Structures are given as C-alpha cells and as structure tokens.
C-alpha cells in the first residue's frame, strides 16, 4: 500500500461507513417485530431506549447491538483494507470510516436524515477502533449511571472523557480526534437533555417518568 492513502480508499471508507451507519436497526426491528413505526412511538427516536418503550426488550437488545455493531463493522472493513499498511494509515482510515458511520446514524439517508442520538454507535465504533478507550469510556458510563442514575448524564460524561482517555492511553491522534468529533455531535444531539439536566428535570433510570426527548440511540 502507498505511504499516503489514495482517494479511492478514503472515498470507499467514507461512503461505506455512512451507508452502514444509515441502517436504522431500531425502525427495522420494530416494524419486523410487530411493534409498528418506531418514529410514532414515545420520543420518536430510533434508538434502543425508544424501542424499549414498545415493551419489547428483545427488539431493544437487537437495536442496541445493531446500532453499535454497524459502527464496528465499518471500522473492521477499513482495518482490513489497511492491514498491509502502517499504523498511522490504519488509524486514519478506521477513524474516517467510524466517523462516517456515526454521521450515518445521526443523519440516515433512508429516513430523511433524521436519525438517533448516537450513543450506541459511539461505543460500537470506539470499541472497534480502540477497544481500551471504548472500555474506559464504558466504565465511565457505568460509574456515572450508578452514582446518579441518569442515562443521558452518564453518556455525556463518558463521551466527554473519551478524547482525553485516548490521548492518555497513547492512541494515535486520529483516534482522539474521532472521539472528540463524535463527542461534540453527541452533545449537540442531547441539547434538550442538557437543558433538563440543568433544570433538574431529567428522568432517572427506572424512575418511570416520561420525557419526550430523553431517549438515547
């Protein structure tokens, strides 16, 4: 492989990653599982949390795995394409594919560019691109969720820490930039959650309180 990635490799990683990320697993699982149109349920979000509002834990689990897995598959394909390249080439191409998959989930072409909030896809891509970083971010999510019992807060803390974790663990710079890119978009997509957190109105895990925009995904 050439020392510099060519436009074909970059274009394939971006296009392939975006199309993979655009697959709306929540919508597909809900429809095939007989739960109806997910976009007309609860918050209308396409993520696993909203699927759970249909009362179908099995469909929610499928959605969670699908949304995380599609990002991981995009990373894996980019890694395979650069398996004979340098560490830097692998980091660059896998980061591009991961970022494109993340954008695909947030703005899926199949749903008029109205997608999810990206938390599951964030963790899926990060675990595949740099599993120690993904595990550390996941641990941050679990710790925050245990302490405060607020899913959105746990997600916001975890994604905010991920770029620093990547740098602290000595991951290639493209991985840290990928984590930062995804974290910024997660914060944008969670603007309503942040407003409720500041007001002390964000529902807690298992609290049974409804919130139109509290879904992850």
**Which sequence spans correspond to the domains of the chain?**
7-199
Give 42's pLDDT tier (boundaries 50, 70, 90): confident
Prediction pTM value: 0.91
Alpha-carbon distance 74 to 97, whole Å? 6
Orientation of helix 173-189 relative to helix 87-106, angle to 10°: 10
Residue 211: per-residue pLDDT: 44
Mean pLDDT, rounded, for 153-161: 98
Q: Is the pLDDT of residue 209 over 70?
A: no
Q: How open is the CA angle 194-131-85, to the nearest 5 degrees?
A: 120
Q: Is the pLDDT of residue 4 over 80?
A: no
Give 62's pLDDT tier (boundaries 50, 70, 90): very high
Radius of gyration of the chain, Cα coordinates, nearest whole angstrom: 17
Give 5's pLDDT tier (boundaries 50, 70, 90): confident
Q: Is the pLDDT of residue 53 over 80?
A: yes
CB 176 within 8 A of CB 163: yes
Q: Is the pLDDT of residue 47 over 80?
A: yes
CB 193 within 8 A of CB 213: yes
Residue 36: per-residue pLDDT: 92
Alpha-carbon distance 185 to 106, whole Å? 9
CB 95 within 8 A of CB 174: yes
User: E strands within 74-191?
Assistant: none
CB 21 within 8 A of CB 108: yes
């Amino acid at each position: 492989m050439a020392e510099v990635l060519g436009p074909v490799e970059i274009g394939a990683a971006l296009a392939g990653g975006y199309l993979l990320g655009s697959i709306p697993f929540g919508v597909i699982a809900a429809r095939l599982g007989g739960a109806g149109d997910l976009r007309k349920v609860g918050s209308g979000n396409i993520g696993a949390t909203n699927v759970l509002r249909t009362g179908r834990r099995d469909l929610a689990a499928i959605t969670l795995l699908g949304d995380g897995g599609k990002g991981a598959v995009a990373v894996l394909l980019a890694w395979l394409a650069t398996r004979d390249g340098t560490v830097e080439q692998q980091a660059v191409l896998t980061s591009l594919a991961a970022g494109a998959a993340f954008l695909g989930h947030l703005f899926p072409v199949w749903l008029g560019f109205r997608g999810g909030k990206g938390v599951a896809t964030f963790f899926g891509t990060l675990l595949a691109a740099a599993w120690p970083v993904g595990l550390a971010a996941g641990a941050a999510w679990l710790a925050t969720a245990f302490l405060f019992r607020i899913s959105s807060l746990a997600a916001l803390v975890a994604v905010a820490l991920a770029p620093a974790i990547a740098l602290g663990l000595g991951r290639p710079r493209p991985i840290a930039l990928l984590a930062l890119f995804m974290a910024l978009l997660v914060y944008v997509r969670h603007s309503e959650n942040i407003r409720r957190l500041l007001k002390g109105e964000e529902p807690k895990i298992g609290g049974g309180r409804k919130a139109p925009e509290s879904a992850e995904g």
